A = this chain, B = another copy of it.
Amino acid sequence: MALKVRRENNDMEAPLLSNDSFVVDLRRASANTTSQIAIVGAEVCPIESLDYELVENDLFKQDWRSRSRAHIFQYIVLKWAFCFLVGALAGGTGFLTNLAVENVAGIKFVVTSNMMLAGRYEWAFGVFTASNFVLTMFAAGITVFFAPEAAGSGIPEVKAYLNGVDAPGIFSFRTLVVKVVGTIAAASSSLHVGKAGPLVHTGSCIASILGQGGSRKHHLTWKWLGGYCKNDRDRRDLVTCGAGAGMAAAFRAPVGGVLFALEAVSSWWRISLLWRSFFTTAVVAVVLRALIDVCKSDKCGLFGKGGLIMYDVTSENTAYRFSDLLPVIVLGVVGGILGSLYNFLLIKILRIYTLINKRGRLCKLLLAAIISICTSCCLFGLPWLAACKPCPADAAEACPSIGRSGNFKKYQCAPGHYNDLASLFFNTNDDTIKNLYRAGTDNVFQPSTIIIFFVASYFLGIFSYGIAAPTGLFVPVILTGATYGRLIGMLMGSYSSLDLGLFAVLGSASLLGGSMRITVSVCVILLELTNNLLLLPLVMLVLLISKTVADVFNANIYDMLVNLKGFPYLEPHAEPYMRQLTVADVLTGPLQFFNGVEKVGNIVHVLRTTGHNGFPVVDEPPFSDSPVLYGLILRAHLIVLLKKKEFLHSRVHSGFDMLKQFCADDFAKRGSMVNQELVEDLILSEEEMEMYIDLHPFTNTSPYTVVETMSLAKALILFREVGLRHLLVIPKSTTRGPVVGILTRHDFMPEHILGLHPFLLTKRWWRLRLWKYDILELFQGVK
C-alpha cells in the first residue's frame, strides 16, 4: 500500500537536468533537483555526491570477519606504496613541467633577445607574438577538444571533490595528460598564469588514477593496484595527499604543501592523514632534489637556476626594528584591499567569460587568442615606455645581459644601458619574481617601471585566468604582490631600513593573504621559497592584516570560484537562519522506499524514474509487527543485485544463502561515477520483473538518523562532520511510519532552503556578512 502511494507521486519528481538558462546563475536554477550540474573546468557537467559513510550490511560484515592477515598486510603496503608513488610521480611531473617551461620559454627568449640585440625589432615582435600565440592556442586547443575539465587552475574542482562533490572527468587520465601538456604550453607562452594550481590538480589526478587502479578507459589498469581503494573515503585521503604533493612540487615546499592541503583544499582531516601527506611531500622533496642534482651538470638544456629553485633572499640586513612595523601594516592593509578587489574583478570577468565560453568551442579559442595577442603586445610594447638606465658599475652579472639568463635586458637601449621594465616583462614569471625578490637591488628599478608593471600584472592576471587552458593563480598573485611591495618600500624611502627585496616578499604575502586568505601555509611556503626564517614574524603580521582587511569585503577566491562554478559545497558551519528551521521544513519530494523483500519490477521502476542514490528499507508485516526501519540501500548496490539476478519466487527471507552468491568486491565502488553501471543497461524479462529480491543482507543497517524536529543547523553539523551522503529523517510521533524523508547535500544548500522559505531572506541574520565567521562562532553555528 505504501508503494502505491509513492508511485502516484512520481510525476512530481523534478527533472534530472534543469534547463539551459543556468550558466551564469547556475546555483539558483539548479536548486531542488536531485541530480545537479556545475561548471567543471570550462564545461557544464552533471555532478554527484560522494559517499563516505561506512556501509554496515551482512555481506560486508561477513567480509570483514574473514579478512586474513595477508589481506591486511596487502592493504597497508599498498596504502604507503600509493603515497610513495603519488609523491614520486607528482615530484617528477613538477620537475618535468619546470624543465619544459624553462626550455621552451628559454629558447623563445633567446631567439627574440638575439633579434633585439641585432636591432631587428619587428622580427622580434613577430616571432615573440607568433610563438606565444601558437603555444596558447595549443594549450587552449587540447583543452577545448580533449579535456575541458583541465581548464583553469583545478583547485576549485579538487576542493569540491574533497568536500564530497564528484564531477566526472576531473581526475581522468585524459585530463591529466592535457593538464600537464597544457600547463607547459600556457606557462611558456608568456601568459600571465602560473603552474602551481595546475600542479595541485595534476597531483590529485595522479592520486585518483592510482587509487582506482589505473584508467579503465585507456586500458591502463593494473590488477594488483585494485586491492586498495574500494571506497570514496580511501580515495579522498589519497587525493588529499596528492594535492599536497602537487603544491610541494610547485614550490619545492614540502611542509607548505601539507599545510596547503590542510588549510585550503581539504574538508575533512585527521592526524593520520597529516602524517601520510607529510610522507608524500617528503618523497616529493627527495625526488626533486635528485632530479635537480641530475641537471646540475648542464644536461637539461636551459634549465638552470630558473624555476623551482628557491628565491634566495638572505641578506645580511635581516634585522628589523620596531619602526619597520609601520610599512608592514601599510603593506597588509594595501594587500587586503587589492586582494579583495582582485577577487571581485576576477569573478566579474569570469562571469563574462562564462557567457562567451558557453557559445561553443570556437568562442573559447577566440577568447584565448585575443588574450594571447593582447598579452604579447603588452609585454613587448610597454618596455618601450621605460627610460634606459646606465648599467650599474658593480653588477653581479653581465650588463646588458646576453641570451635569456641575464636580467639586465638591453632591449632598445644603447650599449652600456639596460631597460629595467623589460627585465620584468621580457622574462619568465619565475625569473621576474627572482628579480623582484633579490636583495641589494634597491637601485635597479625605477618607481615608474614598478608602477607600470604593477598595473599590467594586476590586470593581465585577472584577464588571463579564465581562458580555456590550464592556468594558475598563485604565480600572478605572487608577482603582482612583489611589485607593489617594492613600490611601497620605495615610497617609505629612508624611513625603513628593510631591503626592497624583503618588501617584495612581504608584498607577495600580503596579496596572497588578501586574495586566497590562506595564512599558515602561505607563511610556510614563503619561508621555504625564500629560505629566510628571520622574516617569519613580519610575514605573519602582513598575512594577518591583509586577510583581516580583505575578509571585510568578500570571501576567498577559491570559495568564490567554487560558488561561481555551482558546486554544492558543504560549508563547515551552519548559517544562523538554519536555527529557525527544523529538518522537516526542508524535506521535499515524495519519499521512495523499499520493503525488506521487494518486487524486482518495483525496484527497476523506482531506479528508472528517480535519480535518488539511497533508499530506506522498511520491514512491514509479516516481517515485523509494525513497519520498522531496517536500513538504507544504495542505488549502486541495487544495480549489482539486479544484474546478478538472484531473485526469489515469493516474498520470503532468503537467509544467508544469498550471501554466498556475492563477494564484497562486487559492491566495491572503484572510481568516479563514469565507471558505474547504469540502470538503463539492465535487461530483465517480464517474468523476472514479477520476482522478489531479499534486500536485507545488502542493506546498511546503521544509517545515521535525525528526528524530524531536529534543528537544521545541528543536522548540518552532523551531516558535515561525519561526512554523509544520506541522512534519514525519522518521525517524532510513532504514528507516521518509520521514516519521513532523506536529507542529502542539496537539502542543506542555502539556495534550496531560501527557495523554500523566502521569508528568511528578509531576516537580519542573513544580512550579516561582515566578520561572518566570528558571528557564526557567537551563534555557535560551528562544531
Contacts and interface: CB of A to CB of B under 8 A. Distances in A.
Interface in A321-370: 322
B579 A61 contact: yes
A714 interface: yes
14 contacts: A54-B713, A56-B714, A67-B778, A76-B774, A79-B777, A255-B523, A263-B271, A270-B783, A272-B773, A278-B520, A290-B322, A704-B714, A707-B730, A723-B783
Contacts of A133: none
Interface centre among A274, A282, A541, A629 (most CB of B within 10 A): A282
Interface string A454-497: 00000000000000000000000000000000000000000000
A442 interface: no
A131 interface: no
Nearest to A533: B531
Contact of A541 (B282, B717, B732, B735): B282
Contacts of A289: 537
B56 A275 contact: no
Cβ-closest 5 pairs across A and B: A734-B734, A282-B540, A721-B721, A702-B711, A285-B537
A285 B54 CA distance: 44
A50 to B, nearest CB: 14
A519 interface: yes
B254 A537 contact: yes
A72 to B, nearest CB: 6
A707 B524 contact: no
A413 interface: no
B278 A572 contact: no
A701 B705 contact: no
A780 interface: yes
A749 interface: no
Contacts of A625: 733, 735
Contacts of A714: 54, 56, 702, 704
A606 interface: no
Interface in A701-738: 701-702, 704-707, 709-711, 713-714, 717-718, 721-723, 730, 732-735, 738
A82 to B, nearest CB: 12
Interface string A515-542: 0000110011001100101101100110
| Secondary structure call for the A interface | helix
Interface string A252-296: 001100110001000011111011001101100110011001000
Contact of A779 (B64, B282, B628, B783): B64
A58 interface: no
A668 to B, nearest CB: 12
Interface centre among A528, A625, A714 (most CB of B within 10 A): A714
A778 B723 CA distance: 17
Given A702-B711, A705-B706, A733 B628 contact: yes
A245 B315 CA distance: 29
B274 A734 contact: no
Contact of A286 (B541, B711, B768): B541
A275 B523 CA distance: 12
A523 B524 CA distance: 12
A738 B732 CA distance: 9
A783 B540 contact: no
A27 interface: no
Contact of A278 (B270, B540, B701, B713): B540
Contacts of A270: 572, 782-783
Given A286-B541, A706-B705, A519 B777 contact: no
A233 interface: yes
A780 B231 contact: yes
Nearest to A74: B778
A620 interface: no
Interface string A658-694: 0000000000000000000000000000000000000
A769 to B, nearest CB: 13
Given A279-B544, A717-B722, 12 more contacts: A54-B717, A64-B779, A72-B778, A79-B777, A254-B540, A275-B519, A275-B547, A278-B519, A290-B322, A628-B734, A704-B706, A704-B714
Nearest to A717: B722
A448 interface: no
